[in-house]
Amino acid sequence: MGTRSNPLLPPTLKRRPGARPTPLPPAYDAVLGEYAAALERAPLSDETRRTYRSRVRMFLSWLADHTATYSADPLADRQARDWAVRDYRMWLLRDGPARRSRVYVNSVLTALDDFHVRRGLGKADVDREDLPKSAPRALEERARIRWLRAVEAHLSPRGRCIALIPYYAGARISEVVRLDVGDVQMSARKGKLRLYGKGGKFREVDIHPKLRTELQLWLDERRNWPNAGANRALLLNAKGGRLTARAAGGIIAAIAQTAGLDDPTTAHVLRHTLATTLVRGKTDLVLVAEILGHARLETTRRYSLPSDKDKEEALKLITVDS
């Protein structure tokens, strides 16, 4: 089944609306163009292509300012490549203007591996960062209640669907905006969502009753939106085009602000909240992995780890006991 385009800028790479990508010297711009052409021929999802291009562009921009550091060309020499990637990793983690997380840095290294392999250099000899030994951040019980109340008070059925699909179906923001009307299958009592994930893989998730109500309200209202008959996208923008991931993320952020949540709330945090609730409720890990679209069970096991909040509470108990 084919993939559908919906570029997603991760939070750490968001640009101002209308801002242009960092310009590259002509030689490096040509290198990026060759890589982009290779990606178009590769069996990857549009989202992966977009992410890899963005990661490689940032690396080339950094390399343009540091190429004199190396005695050989990092884009042609394997040893120079290794040194450059190691230095870039440290720049992202420690020396750059915005320190990046270890998860983000590992994703950059994956993109650079793909880039160097397609150039015939092979993967750089650079270790991945050890990931935090904590469960991914999720909304705690009080925050979940405030979130759901804010969603319920939100006036737009479209906005309520955007807020609840990650929360009740565990969808990534890219999967939310990639939904077509035909991906929502509802009968009198039941329903399923067909979600398109990484690598063009799709999975079906049962529609929670509360999400089902909101989806029906939105489908009824959607008929009156511009271009509703011609555009198959479930979530439309004001002009009748497919809603972007950035716009959908902005809607989630606005609802979170209304809820008065202390920490930034994204679709991924809502997805983590569902996973944490299921795992801690003793749902079988294989089933949770299927719901979330995880390729590896080890990814799902992370939700059984103690959260940062759990560790804070444990420290408080130790302090009281001592």
Given a cut of 70, whether residue 317 has pLDDT beyond it is no
Which CA distances in Å does 245 have to 17, 123, 242, 301? 13, 31, 10, 27
The model's pTM is: 0.64
The pLDDT of residue 296 is 79
Find residue 204's DSSP bridge partners: 194
Q: Which of 172, 203, 208, 212 is catalytic?
A: 172
- CA dihedral defined by 183, 165, 285, 142, rounded to 10 degrees? -170
Q: pLDDT (tens digit, 9 = 90+) per residue, 204-224?
A: 999 999 999 999 999 999 999
Given a cut of 60, whether residue 89 has pLDDT beyond it is yes
Which CA distances in Å does 276 have to 11, 64, 136? 22, 42, 8
Dist CA 134 CA 179 (whole Å): 31
Q: Would residue 268 show up in a list of annotated catalytic residues for this protein? A: yes
The pLDDT of residue 216 is 95
Given a cut of 60, whether residue 313 has pLDDT beyond it is no
SS3 (DSSP) at 204: strand
The pLDDT of residue 201 is 81
Task: For residues 107-123, give the mean pLDDT.
Answer: 93
On the CB side of 188, CA atoms within 13 Å amount to 0
Task: For residues 106-124, give the mean pLDDT.
Answer: 93
**Burial class (CB within 10 angstroms; exposed 0-12, middle 13-18, buried 19+) of 258:** middle
Given a cut of 50, whether residue 186 has pLDDT beyond it is yes
Q: pLDDT (tens digit, 9 = 90+) per residue, 10-29?
A: 333 344 334 456 789 999 99
Residue 123 structure tokens: 């993967």
Beta strands at 202-206 and 184-186: parallel, antiparallel or unpaired: unpaired
End-to-end CA distance of the chain, in Å?
Answer: 60
Q: Would residue 271 show up in a list of annotated catalytic residues for this protein? A: yes
Dist CA 193 CA 213 (whole Å): 14
Which of 38-47, 185-194, 237-246, 262-271 is predicted most confidently? 237-246
Q: Would residue 172 show up in a list of annotated catalytic residues for this protein? A: yes
The pLDDT of residue 307 is 59
Label residue 309 by pLDDT band (50, 70, 90): low
The pLDDT of residue 255 is 95
Dist CA 179 CA 22 (whole Å): 31
Dist CA 71 CA 74 (whole Å): 9
The pLDDT of residue 103 is 77
Q: Would residue 4 show up in a list of annotated catalytic residues for this protein? A: no
- Report whether 184 contacts 234 (CB < 8 A): yes
Which of 7-11, 216-220, 265-269, 285-289 is predicted most confidently? 216-220
Q: Which of 78, 198, 246, 301 is catalytic?
A: 198
Task: For residues 216-238, give the mean pLDDT.
Answer: 96
The pLDDT of residue 318 is 53
Place of tokens 């509360």: 210
Q: pLDDT (tens digit, 9 = 90+) per residue, 70-83?
A: 999 999 999 999 99
Q: Which of 158, 268, 272, 302 is catalytic?
A: 268
Instruction: Name 70's Cβ contacts closer than 8 Å, sequence gap at least 6.
Output: 77, 80, 83, 84
